[in-house]
Each structure stands twice: as structure tokens, then as C-alpha cells.
């Protein structure tokens, strides 16, 4: 009996479609010949409004191999890629950072019998969340424990999307682990799996408690502030000005760890600039997004609130939507005094009346310069330019943005603590604003009302890390130190919860006693 992959099985929007019947019809065969069926992926095909369908990818077993179809392919057994192993004598490697990369590096290590020690400059969720909520209410920022820093990293206060460019053995392990710690099993097959900030809190806490039960030790309020490299090896690290001499150091930084990037550079850890993207958040009434992208006759109890993904090329610059949050809110993600940062968040039920997305344009050295950390300084300049006392963010209607006007009317929005009216088209660099206007005009023609119904809040700057900590492709260690292992989004090798977690895992699984 052989295993097959069937793609592009379209079904109507039904709560529980009879997949065997639809497979039999597509392949023109008797249902009894299908001995087993497993959903690998389920997406929504919303190319036609009011005709939204499911698109399934299925794993099938047949009683014979005589069935043929262009969408049907035999699944060949995969040979796992050999893992480079590194023998260690100390069972407690150091991990700097308790975001997805750090937590899953630790998870892979405990599978091999290790007991890593994890340090994070922020706090665990139970202590961190009240500070974040208070900041959103009164603009009182804790620069060491906030949306960016602490247990779970920036992903803790996010939409909790679990997208990955490709699924492999490692990402499958990540998804399976998340289900074990409380995620809904449907993340294993949904094309756009989503946890929600409320469930992320529980899942991350369960993961941390599991790691502690395996001997891991967590240190909160523990800031990495120094490293000594001798003879191409880390000989010491300083955390809260206490010196340690670990055998292995895994750097699982977030993309906002700007002061840590500077610490590494001063210690001659090789770093380079990396391209990223900047722009604003656009917010619409969710009802408008539902009607525009799925149609008003769609059963949203089945589909959930509508989403979208937009891309436009303007010369050599890409403009695109990013981190779209249906039924969510725009949050204040600042981590430095005097700077505004926006991001998107939603709960697991996505029940807000608003939908938001980043609309960003790619930027490169042509925009920010070639000096090391030029991209990071470019981000900081924009964040400071957007700031108003009390951590208020600039707001402008999308129509006024296109017409070069300051908005004088009061705009409904979800951002906390509040906003102030400003010319976002003047806050952003002129060439970036021009590209964003061009794309917005195009999308407004394609989706009438996209500008008229839209409200812009700026800036969106931290789409990905502005630097990359250089590492060897095979051994995964820093090219400047054989026992220093940069992983995850802050190191420049991932973007999002799943890719960061997978990158951490791939390094963590290398170490064995």
C-alpha cells in the first residue's frame, strides 16, 4: 500500500465536509478504495467574493496504485538530514533570551539530556503582563520588561500567527509541541494557524514549566552586558555585571536588542547590516474587510473574520502587507524612551471590530547607508520622529495621507494610550512615503474603499532585524567564536514565531553529553 499527497481538493464551506466523498469524486474512484485520509493543510480560496471555498491538501492511502491524477503524487519517504553533533562536557549551556528561539533551543537540549540555563532581561509573563497593560493605559514604560523583552519575547503580545515558509521535520516538531502545551490541534493543518495573545500566555507558561521540570533554570531581570572572546572562543560573559564562564553560549536575541548588538560589536563579534522594511499600520472596520475580501453572503461563523495579503512592486522596491490581524488591535510596542513602535495583536477569538495590518516598503543600504548599524539608527530616527509625550502615536486618515493633508476630524482606532494628528507622509522618508502612496492608490482602485475606510498609525519599523550576526552555515556557530551560537530573529536568521523556534531547535539539538 502506497501513500499519496492530493492537492487542490476544493469543497464548499461546510463545518464537516465529507472528504472521502469529495476525494472519490475528484479521482473518479470508489470511496472504499481509500483506506485512510489525513488533512495536511486546509486553506480558504477567496478569489471570488461570496464563493469562498476550502482548499485541502490530503495524505491518502489507497488499496492499489492504479489511480492517476495531476494533483495526486506518491509520497516518498524522507531521509532526515544528518544533524551535526557537538559533544559538551558541561550539561548546562547558557541561552541568552527566552523568546521562541531560546525556549525551543532549550527544548531540543533537554531532549538530549541537557539542562540549559536561560537568561532574559525581562520578566516572566505573570510579572511582565501587568506592566505592559499599565503602559498601554498611562504611557509609563519599563525599558527592561515590556512588549519586546521578557518570557516569550515579542511574540507573547502579538497575533500569534504560526506561518512558516516551508514545513519540515523540525517545524512539525514545533507545531506538535505547541499542541502538547495547549494550542488547538487545528494548527497542525490550517494554512494560516493562529494562537492569539491570550492562548500564547498559557502555552508559553506551560512550556517553561515543562523545561523547569527537566532541570532548566530561568533567570529573569538578567541583562547580558558583556562578552570576552579569546583565541576564537567565548571565555566569559557578563550578566548584570556578574561574570560567568560557560562552555556554550546560545544568543537568542530579539530584533529589538539594540544595546546588545552594540555590546557584541565592541567585543569583535562579526555583524553586518541586513535589509528590512518600514511603514505604518492601517486599520479598517472588520465588517468592511469581511465584505470586501470574502463577500457579505459568506458564513463568517465558519471562515472567521476575513484576512488579506497584498503585494505591489514599485521599481526595485517591494510594498506589501505584513502581520495582518483580523479582529485585532494596533498595540504600542515601544522598548525605548522617546520612541514609538506599532505592532498588531489579537486574541484567539479575534472578536474586535477592527482589522489591522502593517503596510511596509522594503529598505536597503541605498536608503539608510552602509555604516554598520545604519539600519538600526534609521529605525530609531523614525521612531523618535513619531514620538509625542505620553507615548502617543501619529494618526492620519488614509485618504488624507494620499492627499498630503493633516487629518482634522477625530478618527476611531484601537491604539493605546492614544494618538495625535500628524502628517505621516512627512514623518516617513519622502521616497518611502511615495512608494506607499503608489501602492495604496493601486489597492484602493482594486478594492474600493480601502483608502476611504482606512486609518494609518505609525511607525511600523521592527518587521525584522536590521542586523545579522554572522555564523558558519554548517556548524551554526559565530564566525568569530566557535562556542557562540546566534539563533532566531534578532540574529537575522528568522522572522516570526515558527521560524525562530525552528532555528533555535536546530542549534539546540546539536549538543550532546
pLDDT at 81 over 80: no
**Are 200 and 179 part of one and the same domain?**
yes
249 lies in some domain = yes
DSSP type of residue 78: P
My answer on whether 253 and 297 are in the same domain is no
Is residue 135 helix, strand or coil? helix
Average pLDDT rounded to a whole number, residues 474-499: 96
At 166, the pLDDT band (50, 70, 90 cuts) reads low
Do both 92 and 48 map to the same domain?
Answer: no
- 151 and 193 fall within a common domain: yes
388 in a structural domain: yes
**Residue 231 neighbours by CB under 8 Å, 6+ apart:** none
Q: Which residues contact 101 (CB under 8 A, 6 or more apart)?
A: 153, 252, 487, 488, 489, 490, 491, 494, 500, 501, 503, 504
Evaluate whether residue 18 is within a structural domain.
Answer: yes
Please tell me the least confidently modeled range out of 158-167, 170-179, 363-372, 410-419: 158-167
Cα–Cα–Cα angle for 154, 155, 159, rounded to 5 degrees? 125
Give the rounded distance of the alpha carbon of 166 from its chain centre: 14
CA 98 centroid distance within chain? 15
Instruction: Kindly state whether residues 221 and 351 are assigned to the same domain.
Output: no
Give the residue among 382, 296, 309 at the shortest CA–CA distance from 341.
Answer: 382
Q: In whole numbers, what is the pLDDT of the chain averaged over residues? A: 95
**Residue with the three cell numbers 463545518:** 15
* 21 found inside a domain: yes
Q: For residue range 117-151, what is the model confidence (pLDDT) as tens digits?
A: 999 999 999 999 999 999 999 999 999 999 999 99
SS3 440: helix
State how far the Cα of 501 lies from the Cα of 371, in Å rounded to an integer.
30
Task: Tell me which residue range forms the domain holding 67.
Answer: 3-74
CA dihedral angle for residue 491, residue 330, residue 163, residue 175, rounded to 10 degrees: 90
Q: What is the rounded distance in angstroms from the CA atom of residue 88 to the CA atom of residue 513? A: 5
Domain count, the chain: 3
Give the pLDDT score at 165.
64
Please give the pLDDT value at position 108.
98
Query: Do 252 and 317 fall into the same domain?
Result: no
Q: What is the CATH number of the domain that holds 11?
A: 3.30.70.2700
**433 and 324 belong to one structural domain:** yes
The reported pLDDT for the residue numbered 62 is 83
As a whole-number percent, the residues of the chain with pLDDT over 90 amount to: 90
- Chain centroid to CA 296: how far? 30
Same domain, 357 and 248: no
pLDDT one-digit tens code per residue, 243-292: 999 999 999 999 999 999 999 999 999 999 999 999 999 999 999 999 99
Domain boundary among 418, 435, 460: 460
Q: Tell me, yes or no, whether 450 lies in a domain.
A: yes
Query: Are residues 27 and 125 located together in one domain of the fold?
Result: no
In a domain, 80, yes or no: no
Residue 314 placed within a domain: yes
Whether the per-residue pLDDT at 65 is higher than 70: the answer is no
User: Do residues 433 and 394 share a domain?
Assistant: yes
Indicate which CATH number applies to the domain containing 116: 3.50.50.60
Residue-wise burial string across 409-420, b where 16 or more C-beta atoms lie within 10 A, e elsewhere: eebebbbbeebe
**81 part of a folded domain:** no
**Domain end (from 23, 43, 74):** 74
Mean pLDDT of the region 39-53: 95
Mean pLDDT over 412-432 rounds to: 97
Indicate whether 236 and 367 sit together in one domain.
Answer: no
Cis amide leading into 417 (omega within 30): yes
Residue percentage of the chain with pLDDT more than 70: 99
pLDDT band at 80 (very low <50, low <70, confident <90, very high): confident
CB burial of residue 465 (10 Å; 0-12, 13-18, 19+): buried
Q: What's the rounded Cα separation, in Å, for the pair 444 and 324?
A: 17
On the question of pLDDT at 167 being above 80, the answer is no
Residue 400: φ, ψ to 5°:
-65, -35
Q: Are residues 364 and 345 in the same domain?
A: yes
Give the up-direction half-sphere exposure of residue 230: CA atoms within 13 A in the CB hemisphere.
Answer: 5
Q: Among 74, 95, 121, identify where a domain stops.
A: 74
Give the separation between CA 133 and CA 123, rounded to whole angstroms. 14
Amino acid at each position: 500500500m502506497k501513500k499519496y499527497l492530493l492537492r487542490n481538493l476544493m469543497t464548499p464551506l461546510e463545518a464537516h465536509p465529507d472528504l472521502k466523498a469529495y476525494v472519490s469524486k475528484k479521482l473518479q474512484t470508489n470511496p472504499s478504495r481509500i483506506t485512510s485520509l489525513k488533512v495536511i493543510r486546509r486553506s480558504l480560496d477567496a478569489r471570488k467574493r461570496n464563493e469562498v471555498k476550502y482548499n485541502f491538501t490530503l495524505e491518502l492511502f489507497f488499496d492499489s496504485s492504479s489511480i492517476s491524477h495531476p494533483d495526486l503524487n506518491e509520497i516518498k519517504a524522507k531521509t532526515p538530514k544528518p544533524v551535526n553533533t557537538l559533544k559538551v562536557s558541561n550539561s548546562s549551556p547558557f541561552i541568552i533570551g527566552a523568546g521562541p528561539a531560546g525556549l525551543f533551543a532549550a527544548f531540543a537540549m533537554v531532549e538530549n539530556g541537557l539542562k540549559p540555563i536561560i537568561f532574559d532581561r525581562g520578566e516572566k509573563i505573570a510579572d511582565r503582563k501587568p506592566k505592559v497593560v499599565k503602559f498601554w493605559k498611562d504611557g509609563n514604560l519599563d525599558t527592561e520588561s515590556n512588549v519586546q523583552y521578557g518570557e516569550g519575547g515579542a511574540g507573547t503580545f502579538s497575533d500569534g500567527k504560526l506561518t512558516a515558509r516551508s514545513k519540515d521535520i523540525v517545524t512539525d516538531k514545533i507545531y506538535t509541541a505547541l499542541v502538547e502545551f495547549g494550542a488547538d490541534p487545528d494548527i497542525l493543518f490550517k494554512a494560516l494557524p493562529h494562537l492569539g495573545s491570550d492562548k500564547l500566555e498559557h502555552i508559553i507558561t506551560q512550556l517553561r514549566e515543562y523545561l523547569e521540570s527537566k532541570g532548566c533554570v530561568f533567570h529573569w531581570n538578567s541583562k547580558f552586558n558583556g562578552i570576552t572572546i579569546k583565541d576564537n572562543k567565548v571565555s566569559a560573559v557578563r550578566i548584570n555585571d556578574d561574570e560567568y564562564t560557560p562552555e556554550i553560549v546560545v544568543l537568542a536575541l530579539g530584533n529589538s536588542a539594540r544595546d546588545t548588538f552594540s555590546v557584541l560589536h565592541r567585543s569583535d563579534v562579526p555583524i553586518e547590516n541586513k535589509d528590512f522594511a518600514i511603514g505604518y499600520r492601517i486599520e479598517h472596520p472588520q465588517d468592511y474587510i469581511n465584505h470586501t475580501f470574502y463577500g457579505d453572503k459568506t458564513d463568517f461563523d465558519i471562515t472567521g473574520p476575513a484576512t488579506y495579503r497584498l503585494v505591489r512592486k514599485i521599481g526595485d522596491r517591494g510594498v506589501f502587507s505584513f502581520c495582518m490581524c483580523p479582529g485585532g488591535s494596533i498595540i504600542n510596542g515601544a522598548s525605548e524612551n522617546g520612541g514609538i513602535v506599532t505592532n498588531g495583536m489579537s486574541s484567539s477569538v479575534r472578536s474586535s471590530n477592527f482589522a489591522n495590518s502593517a503596510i511596509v516598503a522594503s529598505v536597503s543600504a541605498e536608503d539608510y547607508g552602509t555604516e554598520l548599524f545604519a539600519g538600526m539608527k534609521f529605525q530609531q530616527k523614525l521612531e523618535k520622529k513619531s514620538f509625542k509625550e505620553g507615548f502617543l502615536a501619529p494618526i492620519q486618515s488614509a485618504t488624507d495621507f494620499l492627499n498630503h493633508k493633516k487629518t482634522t476630524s477625530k478618527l476611531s482606532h484601537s491604539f493605546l494610550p492614544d494618538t495625535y494628528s500628524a502628517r505621516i507622509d512627512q514623518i516617513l522618508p519622502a521616497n518611502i512615503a511615495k512608494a506607499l502612496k503608489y501602492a495604496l492608490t493601486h489597492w484602493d482602485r482594486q478594492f474600493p474603499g480601502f483608502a476611504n475606510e482606512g486609518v494609518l498609525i505609525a511607525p511600523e519599523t521592527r518587521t525584522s532585524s536590521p542586523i545579522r550576526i554572522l555564523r558558519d552555515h554548517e556548524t551554526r556557530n559565530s564566525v568569530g567564536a566557535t562556542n557562540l551560537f546566534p539563533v532566531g530573529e534578532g540574529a537575522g536568521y528568522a522572522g516570526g514565531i515558527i521560524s525562530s523556534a525552528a532555528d533555535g531547535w536546530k542549534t539546540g539539538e546539536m549538543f550532546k553529553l
